[in-house]
Chains A and B, each alone.
Chain A
Amino acid sequence: MSNAIAVKNLYRYFGPLKAVDGISFDVPHGSVCGFVGANGAGKTTTMRIMATLDYPTMGNVEICGINVVNFPAKVRSLIGWMPDHFGNYEHMTVLEYLDFYARALGYTGKERMMRVQEVMEFADLIPLADRLSNKLSKGMTQRLCLGRSLIHDPQILIMDEPAAGLDPKARVELKHLIRILADEGKTIFISSHILSELGEMCDSLLFINNGRIVHHGDAESLKHGTDHQGGYFFDVQVLGNPQALSDWTVTNPYTEFIESRKQGGRIRIESIDTAGRVLTSMIKDGLQVVEFHKEQRNLEDAFIDMLDKVNTPPEMPPSSNAMPPTPPSQ
């Protein structure tokens, strides 16, 4: 069975700017995939191409096996799209807004009201039914947008920064709704800057930088992974003078003192295999170690490390001599 989303050698150039530079990835059916990258990394461009709203310069994107450029109408019936920002209509209530989109999606009569009722219940919009849609708070607007994108019960939901600008309460509510949708088996492709939240709800994470994918894997592997030089971080607490720990690391070749903490500090060990020996040495050298554990990196750290890794110039030039593609004229 084909993947829900399949992106192959996707390029998108805006004049000399390479917004997307040859990315490829697959997202299986029913999974939640987080799309992470700095501003201008190419997230929105990629998502817009997936949503049939932009065209690739080169490459291929398929949604449930259907080409997004050749058959946009078929793809559109399969996806729900939540943009990062959009304006709401003046002089139109929440109910009228959803009713309009239900009409536009081809629902008529009782079925239309049923669909509107369902999404309003799901997104908790019923108390807001008579409120003007352009007078809602950011959180309410995002719930309205989510409701709109769900009217036709799409298989795949593409969400571009849905939590941007939301307060913590609205963010928790949105996360809750996304979790329900994921449990229902929908494929969700979501971009966000709040990496900790993505880590909690995503089955896989895609990191994009300067238009290229720099990582595709699950959050756990990143949290337990190494920094860009292959090192591991340990939290060490000692009794007595914490300065002793810092002094000790200077004399020990496999460790590096990173920062002081209340009762010790954070150290970096080059290899996980040497961790046991380091601890033994500390105790032998008279440090009264009361705590010694490997830190789980948060996703922000992992992301920064990942960027450092890709931005570090390679020692050897790449062996590939592939020429960049020539985009077709518009």
Chain B
Amino acid sequence: MSTPPIHPISDFPDKLNPMLVKELRQGLRGIGFVVLFISLQALLCFILLITATVASYENAGSQLSRVIFFFFSFAVLLIQPLRGISALSTEIKDNTIDLLCLTRLSAWRITYGKWVSIVSQSALFLTAIIPYLILRYFFGDMQMLAEILLLLSTFLLSATFTAITVGFSGLTSALIRVILPITAAAIGFMILVSMYFGGRNNYQEIIQLLTLESAASTFTFLGLICICIYTAWMGLDLGTSIIAPIAENRATLRRIVSLGLITTTLLVFSFTGVGADVVIPLCLVLCIPVSMISLTENSRLVPPIVAPFTRRGVLGKSAGRLLYPGRATGLIFVLTLYLLMHGLLLFYKYRGITVDPWDVVVLNSFFAILFFALVLTHIFARKYSNRIGIFMLFICSQFLISAIIYACEEWSSKLDVMPYFFWIPTSFSYNDNMPSDALLTASYFNVVLYATIGFVTTRPLWKHIRATEQQVHHDP
């Protein structure tokens, strides 16, 4: 007797990412989503009634908007991204990541599927609050475009934060994976409270900005979208890199995209006459994720990664020095970014635009912080596989140590030791008494010192790179 056929499952179409199907099957049945979804609905219903009763006729609409946006932001900007903390770590802990990696799903599709599933649940929250916004419309004083853009911006930020937590979830260090996002969420909660219910009229200012009445506000909004997309991609790429096999080259694309984006930003801003005080911080923000990943990558190279470069001769090999995966080439790449931004400063000088030395100090110190963390990671965490976690801890430690020294100095008015700690790159922000020339020199000194040590420590990796290139040359 033959076995009866199993009943087919047709809950999700074939075209959907299998990871999304899995996550939705699990996620929508999980208690976390259901409780949050129902709680939000109940809370909004209750508060809608209370606010409508209590608030005066004139400001009822605005008050309702604040309440709706606060709870929506709380759910999608804080709770939903925090759910991403366990996205990859659960798979790693349960040993199911191996089973996933052995399927045809690429590391990117696994990470992307995890992210999309949480974002799609956030999208359910978005659609769920639309009826409340329609109700709110009848209370008047609604700025339709601005409030819709605020809703979409919040959703976009939620997707970005989720991508960061999903990316971090691949890290084995619980300190970085859990404590950092929770701390960020706590700070985020305070920001949300101050934004929607604070004494200052922050909410109105944001609504005003989102009316897009001026070119600057439109430009800022578009910039926000670009930064969110870039950061989300970087976050997901971090998670992907952690679970991808070494034969999968994620670094080259990541570096090319970042280099392209940063160069474009520099060019656009410098030609439109925007000051260095705006361009440098903006570009440094863009540099953060790619630099951190590049300086902590696994340096193991295999012939399939090197072969496409060596096929193109000397030019290809030279490009490989910048684009091969690994922290040795990562150091060259980050230095290239540094020189690129210095090129911008030269361009400003060429055009007769004054550049504040403080901006140069910020620029130098930013890269010195990264190089110093690279050196510390090499010294203290040489054998540690999850380098990015340690690297971030060393960055945080630099800020912490500078803050402690500064606090000691403030506490004892006679103490003036901060200048002696100039070699800690984060100390620049506390060196109020130091002459600007000395500060500038110290910042250059730090960059040169730590980049040189970085080069020395990564020397053995270059031997491996050359050996792999030779292996490809002999056995193409």
Q: Which residues of A contact B19 (CB under 8 A)?
A: 104
CB pair B104 A71 closer than 8 Å: no
Closest to B29 in A: A91
CB pair A148 B99 closer than 8 Å: yes
Interface check A117, CB cutoff 8 A: yes
Interface check A53, CB cutoff 8 A: yes
CB pair A103 B30 closer than 8 Å: no
Q: Please measure, in the bound complex, the distance between the C-alpha atom of A85 and the C-alpha atom of B104, giving whole angstroms.
A: 22
Q: List 12 A-B contacts (CB under 8 A).
A: A52-B102, A72-B248, A73-B247, A86-B95, A86-B98, A89-B26, A90-B26, A100-B25, A104-B19, A104-B100, A113-B9, A121-B3
Interface check A108, CB cutoff 8 A: yes
If A70-B302, A91-B29 touch, whether A116 touches B6 (CB-CB below 8 Å) is yes
Interface residues of B in 243-266 (CB under 8 A from A): 245-248
If A70-B302, A85-B95, A113-B8 touch, whether A105 touches B103 (CB-CB below 8 Å) is yes
Interface residues of B in 80-116 (CB under 8 A from A): 93-96, 98-105
Interface check A83, CB cutoff 8 A: yes
Interface check A81, CB cutoff 8 A: yes
If A99-B9, A116-B6 touch, whether A70 touches B304 (CB-CB below 8 Å) is yes
A51 to chain B, nearest CB (A): 7
Residues of A within 8 A of B (CB): 15, 48, 51-53, 55, 69-73, 76-77, 79, 81, 83, 85-92, 95-96, 99-101, 103-106, 108-109, 112-113, 116-117, 120-121, 126, 129, 148, 328-330
The count of A-to-B residue pairs whose CB atoms sit within 8 angstroms is 113
CB pair A100 B30 closer than 8 Å: no
Q: Which residues of A contact B102 (CB under 8 A)?
A: 51-53, 76, 79, 81
Interface residues of B in 158-197 (CB under 8 A from A): none
CB pair B96 A87 closer than 8 Å: yes
Closest to A126 in B: B3
Given A55-B246, A71-B304, A72-B248; 8 other pairs, CB 8 A cutoff: A53-B98, A69-B246, A83-B95, A83-B98, A87-B95, A104-B18, A104-B103, A330-B299
Interface check B311, CB cutoff 8 A: no
CB pair B98 A104 closer than 8 Å: no
Contact partner, A95, options B6, B103, B247, Cβ 8 Å: B6
Closest to A101 in B: B103
Q: Which residues of B contact A103 (CB under 8 A)?
A: 14, 18, 21
Contact partner, B385, options A85, A100, A330, Cβ 8 Å: A330
Q: Which residues of B contact A73 (CB under 8 A)?
A: 247
Q: Please measure, in the bound complex, the distance between the C-alpha atom of A89 and the C-alpha atom of B101, giving whole angstroms.
A: 16
If A55-B246, A113-B6, A330-B300 touch, whether A91 touches B26 (CB-CB below 8 Å) is yes
Contact partner, A105, options B93, B104, B299, Cβ 8 Å: B104
B37 to chain A, nearest CB (A): 16
Closest to B22 in A: A100
Contact partner, A104, options B6, B9, B105, B385, Cβ 8 Å: B105
Closest to B467 in A: A328
CB pair A53 B101 closer than 8 Å: yes
Contact partner, B9, options A15, A72, A96, A330, Cβ 8 Å: A96
Q: Which residues of A contact B460 (CB under 8 A)?
A: 329
Q: Please measure, in the bound complex, the distance between the C-alpha atom of A105 and the C-alpha atom of B102, giving whole angstroms.
A: 9
7 smallest beta-carbon distances between A and B, as pairs = A87-B94, A104-B103, A103-B18, A91-B29, A108-B14, A86-B95, A72-B245
Q: Please measure, in the bound complex, the distance between the C-alpha atom of A104 and the C-alpha atom of B102, giving whole angstroms.
A: 9
Q: How large is the interface on B (under 10, 10 to 19, 20 to 34, 35 or more residues)?
A: 35 or more
Interface check B461, CB cutoff 8 A: yes
Closest to B300 in A: A330
Closest to A80 in B: B102
A225 to chain B, nearest CB (A): 37
Closest to A52 in B: B245
Interface string of B260-291 (1 = CB under 8 A from A): 00000000000000000000000000000000
Interface string of B346-383 (1 = CB under 8 A from A): 00000000000000000000000000000000000001
Interface check B131, CB cutoff 8 A: no
B31 to chain A, nearest CB (A): 9
Contact partner, B247, options A69, A88, A106, A121, Cβ 8 Å: A69
The listed residue with most A CB atoms (<10 A of its CB), out of B19, B26, B464, is B26
CB pair A117 B22 closer than 8 Å: no
A115 to chain B, nearest CB (A): 11
Q: Please measure, in the bound complex, the distance between the C-alpha atom of A83 and the C-alpha atom of B100, giving whole angstroms.
A: 12
A142 to chain B, nearest CB (A): 14
Q: Which residues of A contact B103 (CB under 8 A)?
A: 76, 101, 104-105
Interface residues of B in 19-36 (CB under 8 A from A): 19, 21-22, 25-26, 29-30
Interface check B316, CB cutoff 8 A: no
Q: Please measure, in the bound complex, the distance between the C-alpha atom of A117 and the C-alpha atom of B7, giving whole angstroms.
A: 9
Q: Which residues of A contact B199 (CB under 8 A)?
A: none
CB pair A129 B6 closer than 8 Å: yes
Q: Please measure, in the bound complex, the distance between the C-alpha atom of A305 and the C-alpha atom of B383, giving whole angstroms.
A: 37
A87 to chain B, nearest CB (A): 3
Interface check B429, CB cutoff 8 A: no
Q: Please measure, in the bound complex, the distance between the C-alpha atom of A106 and the C-alpha atom of B15, giving whole angstroms.
A: 10
Q: Which residues of B contact A91 (CB under 8 A)?
A: 25-26, 29-30
Closest to A14 in B: B383
CB pair B104 A106 closer than 8 Å: yes
Q: Please measure, in the bound complex, the distance between the C-alpha atom of A35 and the C-alpha atom of B297, giving whole angstroms.
A: 34
Q: Please measure, in the bound complex, the distance between the C-alpha atom of A79 and the C-alpha atom of B99, giving whole angstroms.
A: 11
Closest to B9 in A: A99
Interface residues of B in 362-418 (CB under 8 A from A): 383, 385
Q: Please measure, in the bound complex, the distance between the C-alpha atom of A95 and the C-alpha atom of B11, giving whole angstroms.
A: 12
Q: Please measure, in the bound complex, the distance between the C-alpha atom of A79 and the C-alpha atom of B247, giving whole angstroms.
A: 18
CB pair A104 B104 closer than 8 Å: yes
Q: Which residues of B contact A112 (CB under 8 A)?
A: 14
A138 to chain B, nearest CB (A): 15
Q: Which residues of B contact A116 (CB under 8 A)?
A: 6
Interface check B435, CB cutoff 8 A: no
Q: Which residues of B contact A87 (CB under 8 A)?
A: 93-96
CB pair B247 A72 closer than 8 Å: yes
Q: Which residues of A contact B9 (CB under 8 A)?
A: 95-96, 99, 113
Interface check B313, CB cutoff 8 A: no
If A51-B102, A83-B98 touch, whether A71 touches B6 (CB-CB below 8 Å) is no
If A52-B245, A86-B95 touch, whether A92 touches B26 (CB-CB below 8 Å) is yes
Closest to A89 in B: B26
Closest to A113 in B: B8
A109 to chain B, nearest CB (A): 6
Q: Which residues of B contact A148 (CB under 8 A)?
A: 99
Contact partner, A120, options B6, B22, B98, B464, Cβ 8 Å: B6
Q: Please measure, in the bound complex, the distance between the C-alpha atom of A129 and the C-alpha atom of B6, giving whole angstroms.
A: 8
Interface string of B461-474 (1 = CB under 8 A from A): 10010010000000
